[in-house]
Amino acid sequence: MKLVQLGQSDLHVTPICLGTMTFGEQVNEADSHAILDHSLARGVNFLDTAEMYSVPTKAETFGSTETIMGNWFAKHPGARRKLVLASKVAGPSRGMPWVREGKGMTAQDIAHSCEASLRRLQTDVIDLYQIHWPERHVPAFGAVYYDPAKETSSTSIHEQLDAFDKLVKSGKVRYIGLSNETPYGVHEFVRLAEQHGLPRVATVQNPYCLVNRTWENGLDETCHRLGVSLLAYSPLGVGLLTGKYDASGLTGPGAPEGTRLSAYESARKQRWGRPEALAAARRYNQLARDNGMTPTQMALAFCYTQWRVASTIIGVTSVTHLDENLNAWGTTLSPEVLTQIDAIRWDMRDPAL
């Protein structure tokens, strides 16, 4: 895989990134380390994590993913130099008081979170430090509409950038990014950074897959013109686009055990658990089979080959799943298949938005 540049930074990463939010909940430490070993051996140089992981988030496992990764770095002293490491500072609590109290996200919050992540990760620097979700009250994680009446923002974007500037100047962070952002947010972060000589965002990490192509409704042009790269997460729609729920549904007889959607009610209550999302996924999955591909191959190829995507974040629970995801690299989709994909989207739109 040829390395790609992230935004206007000097970070060059593989177009596949290993996401780690399953480490510490669905995947124990030993198996997590085996996945990290194999990922490095297969040539992936990009890892993504977050302070709030593992997922589903809860007080008992808060920070566990970073701790598991830090223990792996300690066992493999040379690995850290070979890898681009991304983590995230959580936005306002949204019902998770173990992350932080209060509605805002102050400069002190950002600094404290970064220090804690560095300790857990057992590293001196985070290559890409991202805001996990906006401090502003914007639609995210399945919410559809912006409602100004619900706005509780108390930390300006300028203040947030000032906090990141201090982290960059102190050598604790190299570059910054956003996640679950809107066109307004990206423009404002870039505008203020350029106006005041503050760190410029290199990336935005948002959902992008066959059942959620909302990125194409304005954010793609925004980021293309501003020179900001997309890190696409949930390319398999949290498993909907693997085909494993096609026959059984998300729960009940025959449903796969131990998956996020079958095991965790909190995951089913979000966008990925909507009946419309499963209905659309079944149509895409059948299209893949009709054209000699597995559903996983087609769904990943859709992301891997999009000009909009710099790197696709894959989340796995085993070395076998990792190999399946990596082996999909190089799969191409014919113009006819792409036309049929667009036809399904026209009928089903973006049910997991």
Question: Looking at the predicted structure, is the pLDDT value of residue 270 above 90?
Answer: no
| Calpha distance 81→244 (Å, rounded) | 37
Query: Reduced to 3 states, what is the DSSP secondary structure of residue 127?
Result: strand
Is 146 labeled as catalytic in the residue annotation?
no
Check whether the bond before 229 is cis (ω within 30° of 0). Answer: no
The pair of structure tokens assigned to 84 is 């681009």
Residue 182 is assigned to a structural domain of this protein: yes
Structure confidence at residue 208 as a pLDDT band (50, 70, 90): very high
At residue 246, what are phi and psi to the nearest 5 degrees?
-60, -45
Residue 251 is assigned to a structural domain of this protein: no
Query: Reduced to 3 states, what is the DSSP secondary structure of residue 217?
Result: coil
Q: Which domain holds residue 64?
A: 4-239+303-331
- The 10 Å Cβ neighbour count of residue 124 is 9
Residue 230 is assigned to a structural domain of this protein: yes
Residue 271 is assigned to a structural domain of this protein: no
Residue of 53, 233, 245, 284 marked active site = 53
- Look at the pTM and tell me if it is higher than 0.85: yes
Residue 272 is assigned to a structural domain of this protein: no
The residue to which tokens 């198996």 are assigned: 31
Residue 79 is assigned to a structural domain of this protein: yes
Question: Looking at the predicted structure, is the pLDDT value of residue 68 above 80?
Answer: yes
Residue 267 is assigned to a structural domain of this protein: no
Overall domain count for the chain:
1
Question: Looking at the predicted structure, is the pLDDT value of residue 255 above 90?
Answer: no
The CATH code of the domain that includes 48 is: 3.20.20.100
